[in-house]
Each structure stands twice: as C-alpha cells, then as structure tokens.
Amino acid sequence: MAIRVLLLAGALLVLACSHGATASDPSLLQDFCVADKTSPAHLNGLACKAAKEVVVEDFYFSRLHVPGNTTNKQGSAVTAVNVAQIGGLNTMGVSLVRIDYAPFGLNPPHTHLRSTEILTVLEGCLHVGFVTSNPENKHFDKVLNKGDVFVFPKGLVHYQYNNRTSNAVAIAALSSQNPGVITIANAVFGAEPSIPAGITTKAFQVEKSTVDWIQAQF
C-alpha cells in the first residue's frame, strides 16, 4: 500500500512539473489548427480554419534565403516566419526569424515577452548579450562565430551586434507562434503620444534637451 501511495505521489509530481514546463502558447488539442485570418472571432491566438479547407501551403514559407534590407539606421533586418506568414504555426508554440546585419549593424536592445530565443550564427561574427531583471541587472555577453549558438531567456532584454567589417547572418527559433517584440529605445523615446518629458528626464537623470534630441531620432 505504501509503495502505491509513493508511486501515485511521484506520478502527480511528474505531472505538476511537466505542466509547469509547457511553452508560453496553449497546447494543441488536435493535429493542427491552421489560422483562419479572415475570421472575426477574437481569441487568445487565431481561430482555426475548417480542416477540409487546409492545404499544404498553409505549412510552407519560401523566402528565408532572401537577405533582408539592412540600409537603415541600425544596419539590420529581421525576416519573421511566424503565424502571420505560416498559418499552420497557429497553436504550435514556435516561430523563426532570419536576421541580417550590415557591417557594424545592430539588432538593438529588445525583449520578447512571450518567448525564449535560441540563435545560431550562419555567417560572420556577432557580439550578443542579455541583461537579467532587477535588482541585479547582470550583463551576460559573448562573441559568437559561425556555427555558434546562444540562448536569450524569455522576457529579458537582449541584443546582437555585428562587430566586423563584413556582413553577418543569423537564424533564431522562438518558443511562441507570435513572440512579439518591444525595442526598448523605440518604446521609451518613440511612443505616440510621447511619454511626458518630466518622466523621461527623471528616469534617465538627464536634461530635457537631451530627451528632446533622442526623441527626434525616432
């Protein structure tokens, strides 16, 4: 009897742990739930297309080999492959991005509130890093070469910088069909309407003229 109780307790513990280890997106309850992008229904995710209307193209994307346009202020470009591009990713809890970097290009500090990210360098060299939450704000950074892999924990601010004179390319998997992204500088200094100057000057301990100059960049 005691052995049975122990086995039952162990089974319950395993179930509890496995439940806590699930991805950020809801788990599948069927083989697939291809997104119906025409549905007016408002869900935490997207409504399912009728199974009889699903076609192979719902699971396919063909343009990830095309370099992104890095002729911008940051010198980087992100090509997303999430549920917006592949309807078949709906409820799958995974997505992908290709990131192109011009020489000295930067994918600036940002966060994915719904996703962990695992990045692989395909070409070139990247200086990457992330910062832990308050109060420690510890900075973990490393220089990656071709073939190296790095993990950015869910929700933490992170970045990638091409510190070389040649182009770089990376591919990253994310643990959400729609990981979302908040670029820190854009959110703080490019908000519409603007965050009041009294708040930003106090937060960053700078003069209003400095805040005005930064906001003008966005």
Give me the phi and psi of 206, to 5 degrees please.
Answer: -135, 170
Residue 203 phi/psi, 5-degree rounding, is -65, -40
Ligand-binding annotation for 158, yes or no, is yes
**Bridge partners, residue 142, by sequence:** 128
Beta-carbon-side half-sphere exposure of residue 75 (alpha carbons within 13 Å): 15
- Is 112 annotated as ligand-binding? yes
Q: Does the annotation list 139 as a binding residue?
A: no
Other CB atoms within 10 Å distance of the CB of residue 126: 28
User: Letter for the amino acid at 158?
Assistant: H
Q: Flag whether 19 is marked binding.
A: no
Q: Do 4 and 15 touch, CB atoms closer than 8 A?
A: no
How buried is residue 102: exposed, middle or buried, by Cβ count under 10 Å (0-12/13-18/19+)?
buried
List, as residue ranges, the binding site. Answer: 107, 110, 112, 117, 158
List, as residue ranges, the binding site for Mn(2+). Answer: 110, 112, 117, 158
List, as residue ranges, the binding site for oxalate. Answer: 107, 112, 117
